[in-house]
Amino acid sequence: MSGANREILRLEGIRKSYNVGTPVEAEVLHGVDLSLDEGEFAALIGPSGSGKSTLLNTVGLLERPTGGRLFIRGREIGGLDEAGLTELRGRTIGFVFQFHHLIPAFTALENVMMPMLIDRGAPDAPMRERAAWLLEQVGLAAAAAKKPAELSGGMQQRVAIARSLAMNPPLVLADEPTGNLDTHTADEIFELLRRFNAESRTAFLIVTHDPRLAARCDRRIELVDGQIVEAKGPPWPVD
Amino acid sequence: MRFEWIVATRFLREGRMQTALILGGTAVGVAVILFITALINSLQVSLATRTLNTQAHIVVRPPDDAASRALAPADASVAARVEARAQRLRSIDQWEAVFRRLEGTARVTAVSPVVSGSGTALRGNANRAIALFGIEPERYVRIVKITDFMVAGEFRVSPGNAVIGVELAADLGATVGDRIRVTTPEGGNDVFLVTGLFDLGVKDVNKRWALVPLKTAQALLALPGGVTNVDLTVDDIFAAEEVARLIEGGTGLKAESWMAINTQLLAAFDNQTMTTRVIRAFVVLIVALGIASVLVVSVVQKQKEIGILRAMGASPGRIMRVFLIQGAIVGTAGAVVGSAVAAAMVAVAKRVLLAEDGTPLITGGIEPYMLAGGALVALATGLLAAVAPARRAAKLDPVQAIRG
């Protein structure tokens, strides 16, 4: 189970339908096969309605697939109950959402601490130190005590990235992380993700509409009509 | 549990307006419940106390004279109807022994032997029917605190002296220092110096009562050495009936409590208590609905945060606890504030709600047991009210909650 390129994610024929058993049943994912190794930096692209978000939610253990098998670090998750799934999610997957989604009632530092607080139950000094260190890494050491409402969109997204890394997860899922940021800020955020990827073994799977950003990823996974049409490829030329 | 507490308190602090509203609602509810309980308890005690100014808590008398059917000889006809006997004035058999026994009875706080009967008071041309009481003054004042109700002269009941009701004195045209003659159907006849007048606040009592020494009354009523009744007080006035039943069972005498005599007053108390209970129940219901509705709104507003927490690994159970804790905190904090408000209300009511004689209607305050009860009810209400919103929060689908 060791090695330079340990597999952290494998999807085998993953299907996902909504409204199962009703006349309006709709299958969104039609048997997706995909695997992701430790340290990979991949873009998930595809037109609207192709099932990107559904795939991301399924990989993120927020939704159960209706068919196929999903492995996280070689472990099949189909047999896990809700509690097991929740715990696995908290420890192995970091999320960065398009709309930042920080918790307004907590400061930037507390938001970064939150995944660790959920995991360990009560706050402690190492937790605080790690959160402070992460904020420093995203260049927001000075904003630690600020509430999200006092931060700009780009700053909020940087806090969210720091938060996604709090548990040092093997996999971070980012859903349009630069979606509503200006180009300059979007570039900064992207660079930040790249930097964390380079410095750790954390794999990133990034949903994006922006071909420029997709081109700067090591790997492009394209989803069309609920199926992967292009899973492997060389690094895409920039511009 | 720390995580749940941290998030719960932070959510409450964040929704300042909502928190203030439910806290206020809960506090008012608790205050109303405590105040109304203190008020009704106090009113009942004060009404009962007023009633008992002129009454012993329990009066022990000899059993009624009963007519018994003769044993029917064979083949003889027997009277079909038995007439009740006229009740003559009788002494309690062996009353000194009974007296000592009553003194040693649990819960009994004072015992006083009394000989009472009817008579006539005369002065000049005036004569009035009176209720004549022969008492041992030191003992009797512990049953009926006549000393608190003297309006003229002093409470001196010794050989040759009598203390009488203020209206009886007026009817006889007598005042302190005058002499009155008392006669009885038993042939007694004596003269007393009026040493004091009392006003017990009951017309019938003020118009008829004459208190004289026990021995003198025994002679006047032709009951030498006897007493017609023994008066008692007990430590808890509402336990009087229970104690009376025990005494009856133990002595074979008739024991009548003030509760049996004032059945209407007690029925009124029961109704009052029932009404208070209904009001309290509705207040609790309203408080519960208030807490629940505010928390439901809070769950809807915090959908996104709940979704994020779920995505970050918080289980539905922990999300549920976050909202249950909010309910519990609001309930408990509401109880604390409400208790303070109720205490203030009682303090004000003591100054504002007065009886005709200027004494406060509310005598008791808010007892510790009421505070504990109020806090428990508020905590339980907060928790129960939070159940539905908390379950709703726990059931939120994180995917739906996070979207957009």
Q: Which two tokens stand for residue A194?
A: 């790249």
Give A141-166 pLDDT, tens digit per residue: 999 999 999 999 889 988 999 999 99
Do B108 and B127 reside in the same domain of the chain? yes
Domain ranges of chain A: 39-63+82-230
Range of the domain at B111: 95-260
Min Cα distance B295 → chain A (Å) is 16
Min Cα distance B42 → chain A (Å) is 47
Interface contact B305-A103, CB threshold 8 A: yes
B3 vs A: CB within 8 A: yes
Do B128 and B201 reside in the same domain of the chain? yes
CB B172 within 8 A of CB B128: yes
User: In chain A, whose CA is at the least distance from the CA of B307?
Assistant: A101
Return per-residue pLDDT of chain B as tens, 404 residues: 589 999 999 999 988 888 999 999 999 999 999 998 888 888 888 888 778 878 889 999 988 777 666 666 666 666 667 677 777 778 888 888 888 988 888 899 999 999 999 999 999 889 999 999 999 999 999 998 888 889 999 999 999 999 999 999 999 999 999 999 999 998 889 999 999 999 988 888 999 999 999 999 999 999 988 899 999 999 888 889 999 999 988 888 899 998 888 888 889 888 988 999 999 899 999 989 988 998 898 888 888 899 899 989 899 999 999 999 999 999 999 999 999 999 999 888 888 888 777 777 777 778 888 889 889 998 999 999 999 999 999 988 888 777 75
Chain B residues with CB-CB distance to A60 below 8 A: 311
Return per-residue pLDDT of chain A as tens, 239 residues: 444 568 899 999 999 988 888 888 888 888 889 999 988 999 998 888 788 888 999 999 988 899 999 999 888 988 888 888 899 999 999 998 877 689 999 999 999 999 999 999 999 999 999 999 999 988 899 999 999 999 998 899 889 999 999 999 999 999 888 887 888 888 888 888 999 999 888 999 999 888 888 888 888 998 888 888 865 555 444 44
Which of residues 374 through 403 in chain B touch A, CB cutoff 8 A? 398-399, 402
Q: With respect to residue B138, please indicate whether it lies within any of the assigned structural domains.
A: yes
Chain A residues with CB-CB distance to B307 below 8 A: 101
Interface contact A63-B304, CB threshold 8 A: no
Do B114 and B256 reside in the same domain of the chain? yes
pLDDT of residue B69: 62
Q: Which of B290, B199, B232, B229 is nearest to B87 (CA)?
A: B229
Q: With respect to residue B129, please indicate whether it lies within any of the assigned structural domains.
A: yes
CA-CA distance, B382 to B26, in Å (whole number)? 9
Do B201 and B236 reside in the same domain of the chain? yes
User: In chain B, whose CA is at the least distance from the CA of A107?
Assistant: B10
Chain A residues with CB-CB distance to B316 below 8 A: 82, 86
Do B343 and B374 reside in the same domain of the chain? yes
Do B109 and B39 reside in the same domain of the chain? no
CA-CA distance, B48 to B266, in Å (whole number)? 9
Nearest to B3 among A83, A102, A117 (CB): A117
CA-CA distance, B99 to B101, in Å (whole number)? 5
Chain A residues with CB-CB distance to B309 below 8 A: 103, 114, 118
One-letter amino acid identity for B39? L
CB B127 within 8 A of CB B174: no
User: In chain B, whose CA is at the least distance from the CA of A116?
Assistant: B312
Give B197-247 pLDDT, tens digit per residue: 999 888 889 999 999 999 999 999 999 888 999 999 998 888 899 999 999
Nearest to B399 among A57, A86, A89 (CB): A57
Q: Which of B82, B59, B57 is nearest to B70 (CA)?
A: B82
Chain A residues with CB-CB distance to B311 below 8 A: 60, 62, 89, 95
ipTM for the whole complex: 0.88
Do B149 and B168 reside in the same domain of the chain? yes
- Number of structural domains chain B divides into: 2
B301 vs A: CB within 8 A: no
Interface contact B11-A123, CB threshold 8 A: no
A57 vs B: CB within 8 A: yes
A104 vs B: CB within 8 A: yes
Interface contact A121-B1, CB threshold 8 A: yes
Last residue of a domain, one of B232, B260, B288: B260
Q: Which of B152, B232, B116 is nearest to B164 (CA)?
A: B152
User: In chain A, whose CA is at the least distance from the CA of B12?
Assistant: A105
Interface contact B3-A82, CB threshold 8 A: no
Last residue of a domain, one of B242, B260, B278: B260
Longest CA–CA span in chain A (Å) reads 55
Tell me which of 3.30.70.1230, 3.40.50.300, 3.40.50.150, 3.40.50.2300 is the CATH number of domain A39-63+82-230: 3.40.50.300
pLDDT of residue A238: 41
Last residue of a domain, one of B209, B233, B260: B260
Min Cα distance A25 → chain B (Å) is 18
Angstrom distances, CA of residue B364 to CA of A72, B55, B59, B64, B360: 69, 22, 27, 40, 10
Q: Which residue has the tokens 């939610």?
A: A57
Do B19 and B119 reside in the same domain of the chain? no
Residues with Cβ within 8 Å of residue A66, at least 6 apart in sequence: A15, A16, A17, A20, A27
CA-CA distance, B394 to B388, in Å (whole number)? 10
A106 vs B: CB within 8 A: yes
Regarding pTM above 0.90, the answer is no
Using only C-alpha atoms, chain B has a radius of gyration, in whole angstroms, of 33
A122 vs B: CB within 8 A: yes
Q: Which residue has the tokens 């045209």?
A: B173
Q: With respect to residue B396, please indicate whether it lies within any of the assigned structural domains.
A: yes
Which of residues 136 through 155 in chain A touch B, CB cutoff 8 A? none
